Amino acid sequence: MYFRNNFFFSAFIGIGILALCGAGSAFDPVSLTSQENTGVDEIQGQFYVMADRSVAWTVLTDYGNIPQFVSGLKVSRVEKRHRNDILLVQEMEGGFLFITKRVHLLLKIHETPMGTIAFEDVDHQDFSVYQGYWNIESCPQGGVSVLYQLTACRKFDLPLARDAMNGGVKDLLGDVQKEIYFRQGRTGQESGWGGAAQVQTQADQTAAK
pLDDT at 147 over 60: yes
Residue 24 lies in a domain: yes
* CA angle (105, 107, 113) in 5-degree steps: 145
Q: What's the confidence (pLDDT) of residue 11?
A: 33
Counting the structural domains of the chain, the total is 1
- Is pLDDT at 22 greater than 60 in this prediction? no
How would residue 121 be classed by pLDDT, with cut points 50, 70 and 90?
A: very high
- Asked if the structure places residue 5 within a domain, the reply is no
Whole domain around residue 133: which residue ranges?
11-208
Q: Residue 193: what pLDDT?
A: 43
Residue 2 belongs to a domain? no
Residue 200: pLDDT band (50, 70, 90) is very low
CATH, residue 94? 3.30.530.20
pLDDT (tens digit per residue) in 48-58: 999 999 999 99
pTM above 0.85, yes or no: no
Residue 17 resides in a domain? yes
Q: Is 1 inside any structural domain? A: no
In this structure, is residue 4 part of a structural domain? no
The average pLDDT across 126-133 equals 97
Residue of 147, 95, 97 lying closest to 126 (CA atoms):
95
